[in-house]
Every structure is written in C-alpha cells, then in structure tokens.
Amino acid sequence: MSDHGGPGHGLAARVRHVEALLERHGLVDATELDRALEAFLSRASPANGARVVARAWLDEGFRARLLADASAALPELGLSMGGGIQEQRLKVVANTETTHNVIVCTLCSCYPISLLGPSPTWYKSESYRSRVVRDPRGVLREFGCMPGPDVEITVWDATAESRYMVLPRRPAGTAGHSEAELAGLVTRNGLIGVADV
Amino acid sequence: MTERFRPGDRVLTSRADPVHHTRLPRYARGAAGTVLELEGRYPLPDDRSRGLPAEPEPVYAVRFRAAELFGAGDHQVTLALWESYLRPLPEEAARGE
C-alpha cells in the first residue's frame, strides 16, 4: 500500500522490475495491467458510496446490516470491496447526534477507492495526515465543518487491512426525497467525514 | 488460532522503534488504549516486508484518547493494530492513569 518515499521507492522499483519480467516472458500483455487498472477505476466513484448512504437512510434493516458487516451488506446494492488487488474489509462508521467520525491513513493514503473514487490530493497530503489525528476540529473547521462542542470526534486511522467510510447524518428537510435525490446530496467529503454530508 | 484480546480489554502498544517497515505509527507507540473489535487476521507486515514467514494473526481496532497520544485533545483516535504490537495493560499502569 505505501509508496511514498523511503522504503516505498525500493518497492516501486521492485514492482516495475517484476512487471518487466512478466512482460518479457509473455505472461502479461504490456497493456493488460493498465486495462485492469482502468477497469477498476472506471467503476470507482463516490456515487457508489452515496448510494450506500441513501439506502441506509431509507432502510433501517440495511443500515443495521451495513454497520454490523459492511462488506457483506454491499452486494445488496450490487457493490463489493473486490476488484482491486485483494478484497478488503469495509467498516462503515455512523455519525450521530453525539459522534462525528473522520477517516485518514497516516501511513500513506488508504481509503475505499471503489466507493469514494480516487482520493483527493489533500487526503494524501502530509498536512492532512499528520494534523487530523492531533487536531480534528481544527482541520474540520478549514473544510467548513463544525460539529457542536458536545459532539465527540473519532478519527479512524486505516493502519491495517480495513477501509473505513463515514455514514453521515441525514439532513433535515429531506423527508419526501427519493433514494436518488438523497444520494445526490452526499459528497465525497461527507464520506470521508470532513463535511456534514 | 484464538485471539489474545477481547472487546473492552485495555492494552498497551509497543514502544519499539524498529528499523524495518511497521504499521504501528510513531504517534501511537507506548500508548494505552481499549480494544473495540477484531478486524480480521492478516500476516504481520513487519515480517512480510522483510521476506520472513508471517502467519495471519489477529488485527484489532483499538481506541485511544487523544490526551493519551498527544497530551491534549478531547477526541478519540482508532487504529487497526496487529496483535504483536499489543500487550495487556499492566494493572499498576491502569491505576496510575
């Protein structure tokens, strides 16, 4: 996963070397890896995460299954955490009246790409990664997100093989909204936890 | 393979500062936290990155108070940590906090 300076440079060089060997021996086509990567990324979009959130807002049963075992609940919407190098465990963390969650990967930039799309540049920045664990309120304020003083903030650092996604609170005044309309309200920043929704 | 820790257990992270790759971030070393849940079983990256045999071992979500990690802050930070990084929090240390 990590490939940012230090030992990562050695790893990247090794990967390129193995890739070259595989190509030279005719085991993979030169464009095959690019195609696989493009296919994965073309399906990766924050619209997927937004669909999950909208369904959870409308369906209490789905919400409960999602929070208990997100990887197992995703196929209900035709989604999965597979498609990358290995299937990863997804953990969805719900914001409530008293809890606000925000995700980070302090070691590199891990996050559920299939549900959130490619990560924004700031998510990978040293500044976000080092500051959000120490001063989440300060960082959230810069995004215009200001949970009340009585709301406890939990930062989720993706240091192992699970990937995290935030389930934002359903905005007020959306009682009559359809599932598609609700999904349209959800932003990538909301799924990361640096926006309310 | 059974897990050494259960949800609610108090644990202390390793203080070691290894030269090799590790997934225990520096800011969370030597810190007391509480096990939230088992996340799964995965080979220890510290061993795998050095080409050593690495059997899957339990990985836990462990929650820390910000004040424990940074000496300030009223939030919490949850990390996913391999069992090898953790040991039971000694009773005396728990009382001293």
Nearest to B39 by CA among A154, A71, A101, A99: A71
Residue A16's pLDDT band, with cuts at 50, 70 and 90, is confident
Residues A87 and A58 grouped into a single domain: yes
Write down the pLDDT at residue A185.
98
Write down the pLDDT at residue A4.
44
| HEC sequence for A102-159 | EEECCCCCCCCHHHHCCCCHHHHCHHHHHHHHHCHHHHHHHCCCCCCCCCEEEEEECC
Write down the pLDDT at residue A9.
67
Q: Is residue A71 part of a domain?
A: yes
Residues A61 and A121 grouped into a single domain: yes
Domain ranges, residue A92: 45-192
Write down the pLDDT at residue A40.
81
Per the document, the length of chain B is 97
Checking if the pLDDT of A8 tops 80, the result is: no
Touching A: B residues 1-20, CB under 8 Å: none
Residue A41's pLDDT band, with cuts at 50, 70 and 90, is confident
Write down the pLDDT at residue A160.
96
The separation between CA A118 and the C-alpha centre of its own chain, rounded to angstroms, equals: 9
The separation between CA A161 and the C-alpha centre of its own chain, rounded to angstroms, equals: 13
Question: Each residue of A174-190: pLDDT tens digit?
Answer: 999 999 999 999 999 99
Q: State the average pLDDT over residues B30-43.
A: 97
Residues A127 and A144 grouped into a single domain: yes
CB of B84 within 8 Å of a chain A CB? The answer is no
Write down the pLDDT at residue A123.
97
Residues A103 and A18 grouped into a single domain: no
Taking CB atoms and an 8 Å cutoff, what residues of chain A touch B75? 136-137, 152-155
- Contact call for residues B39 and A93 (beta carbons, < 8 A): no
Q: Is A145 among the catalytic positions?
A: no
Residues A111 and A33 grouped into a single domain: no
* CA nearest to A7 within chain B: B21
Residues A107 and A125 grouped into a single domain: yes
Checking if the pLDDT of B21 tops 90, the result is: yes
Question: Each residue of A17-31: pLDDT tens digit?
Answer: 998 898 889 888 878
Residues A84 and A155 grouped into a single domain: yes
Question: Each residue of A56-106: pLDDT tens digit?
Answer: 999 999 999 999 999 999 999 999 987 666 778 999 999 999 999 999 999
Number of domains chain A contains: 2
Tokens 């000694």 belong to which residue? Answer: B90
- Contact call for residues A108 and A4 (beta carbons, < 8 A): yes
Checking if the pLDDT of B84 tops 90, the result is: yes
* CA nearest to B60 within chain A: A160
Instruction: Give the right CATH number for B10-96 from 2.30.30.50, 3.40.50.1010, 3.30.470.20, 2.60.40.10.
Output: 2.30.30.50
What ipTM did this prediction achieve?
0.93
- Tokens of residue A26, six digits: 């005719």
Residues A33 and A77 grouped into a single domain: no
Average pLDDT score, chain A: 92
Q: Is residue A83 part of a domain?
A: yes
Residues A23 and A116 grouped into a single domain: no
Residues A28 and A110 grouped into a single domain: no
Residues A66 and A19 grouped into a single domain: no
CB of B23 within 8 Å of a chain A CB? The answer is yes
Taking CB atoms and an 8 Å cutoff, what residues of chain A touch B66? 134
Write down the pLDDT at residue B2.
87
Checking if the pLDDT of A2 tops 50, the result is: no
Write down the pLDDT at residue A29.
83
- Measured CA to CA, the distance from residue B43 to residue B47 in angstroms comes to 8
Residues A25 and A105 grouped into a single domain: no
Q: Which CATH number fits the domain that encloses residue A188?
A: 3.90.330.10
